Amino acid sequence: MPHGKTQMTDTWIAPDQLFDGTALHDGLAVRVQDQIVTEIAPAPRSALTFRGTLTPGFVDLQVNGGGGVMVNSTPTKDGLRSIAAAHRGLGTVAILPTVITDRPDVLDQAANAAIAAFGQNGIIGLHIEGPHISVARRGTHSADFIRDLDDRTMDIIAKLRALGMPVKITLAPEAAQPAQISALAATGAIVSLGHTDASAQTIISAIDAGATCGTHLFNAMSQMTGRAPGAVGALINSECHTGIICDGHHVSNEMLGLAIRARPCPDRMFLVSDAMATVGGPDHFNLYGNTISVKEGKLVNAEGNLAGAHVSQAEGVQRLVRDVGLDLQAALRMAITTPATFIERPDLATIIGRNIADLILLSPSLDFQGPLSAVA
């Protein structure tokens, strides 16, 4: 062996099931050479076995915080890296840090932080949720900072897109002109409709203008009734991609299942955590000067109202299978394949060529067990 060279490690790992980003398989193993998966094949007799499922790590397009840190309160490169690290420790290897409604300078700082952290620790872009939303459907967002879409935000998005960064912006169509939505879409930004009290027809008009997504379906939007579909009905009926939270609090299991079955196109629903600082962190944090705490598994403000989610993507997948009744393949596609493809990062839903730190192991009961690097 030449001086200074180390011997290449060459290991086969055989889980009970393997999700390759497309489908779930039995009886397959991965070959790991120098921490990179180089092959998928029937398991050789020499393979190390694992009880459970091997899968690419989760992709989350709506992460407000984690590890005790919020994007809004710490809009810095180190803040975003800390949030990403907290979620990686729970099985999510790629995130869109999400800055919510706040002062204009907070958005400026978050954008600069995203530029500095882009591509590190699984930070794959930026999600701007507000401030261009409906006061009536603001949820936990502060009414003090809500405003119509303006050139300042348009310029920030243009800057991010010029650098090749994926950007998702959640807005209410009543806070933006159709021409502005079209201009945002023309940059390649994802325009997502949410925190809106708009009618179904207004939602349809925004989709016609270039919106391609809906933000946390059912939550903070006009509801669906027999004679008025609202934003919920319009988005379910559309071809838009739509995020949804599965934490047992934001949407009932019955409505989750109904919405997933009702979509006219496959692979249009994706799982988001809407995670706050408590995920992988302490049981409370400060937002807009108010304390948000975990109470009986849900995040609430002083009035007892929902204020973001206290759930990881791994827990969401587990609930989709256990409580909603999805098969594991469908749940994994919602948490990995669909968001990765939508954000134009199909590589995040692959196994071949991936570092073993980006692949994860789930127990037979779908508890997160750690990265593949823990056993390979």
| Enclosing domain of residue 206 | 58-344
- Does 1 reside within a domain? no
79, 23: one domain: no
Q: pLDDT tier at 2 (50, 70, 90 boundaries)?
A: very low
The answer to whether residues 303 and 357 belong to one domain is no
Task: Share the mean pLDDT of the chain.
Answer: 96
Q: Lowest-pLDDT range, 7-21, 118-132, 205-219?
A: 7-21
Active site residue 150: no
CATH number of the domain within which 24 lies:
2.30.40.10
pTM: 0.96
Q: Residue 62: pLDDT above 90?
A: yes
| Residue 2 maps to a domain | no
Statement to judge: residues 194 and 321 lie in one domain:
yes
Question: Are both 176 and 293 inside the same structural domain?
Answer: yes
Find which of 8-12, 98-102, 293-297 is predicted with most confidence, using mean pLDDT. Answer: 98-102
Check 16, 274, 358, 367 and give the catalytic one.
274
Inside any domain, residue 5: no
Confidence at residue 4, expressed as pLDDT on a 0 to 100 scale: 45
* Domain at 215, CATH number: 3.20.20.140
Mean pLDDT of 125-133: 98
Per residue in 147-157, pLDDT (tens digit) is 999 999 999 99
Examine the domain organization and report whether 27 and 153 are in the same domain. Answer: no
17: tokens are: 């099931």
Share of the chain above pLDDT 90, in %: 94
Query: What pLDDT, on a 0 to 100 scale, did the predictor assign at position 314?
Result: 98
Q: Let me know whether 41 and 135 are in one domain.
A: no
Whether residues 48 and 63 share a domain: the answer is: no
Please tell me the predicted confidence (pLDDT) of residue 8.
Answer: 61
pLDDT greater than 70 at residue 96: yes
pLDDT given at position 374: 87
Low-confidence winner among 5-14, 339-348, 363-372 (lowest mean pLDDT): 5-14
- pLDDT tens readout for residues 269-327: 999 999 999 999 999 999 999 999 999 889 998 878 889 999 999 999 999 999 999 99
What share of the chain in percent tops pLDDT 70? 98
- The mean per-residue pLDDT over the stretch 18-41 comes to 97
Q: Does a structural domain hold residue 365? A: yes
- Mean pLDDT across 117-126: 97
Q: What is the 3-state secondary structure (H, E, C) of the chain?
A: CCCCCCCCCEEEEEEEEEECCCCEEECEEEEEECCEEEEEEECCCCCEEEEEEEEECEEEEEECEECCEECCCCCCHHHHHHHHHHHHCCCEEEEEEEEECCCHHHHHHHHHHHHHHCCCCCECCEEEECCCCCHHHCCCCCHHHCCCCCHHHHHHHHHHHHCCCCEEEEECHHHCCHHHHHHHHHCCCEEEECCECCCHHHHHHHHHHCCCEECCCCCCECCCCCCCCHHHHHHHHCCCEEEEECCCCCCCHHHHHHHHHHCCCCCCEEEECCECCCCCCCCEEEECCEEEEEECCEEECCCCCECCECCCHHHHHHHHHHHHCCCHHHHHHHHHHHHHHHCCCHHHHCCCCCEHHHEEEECCCCCEEEEHHHCC
Q: How many domains does the chain fold into?
A: 2
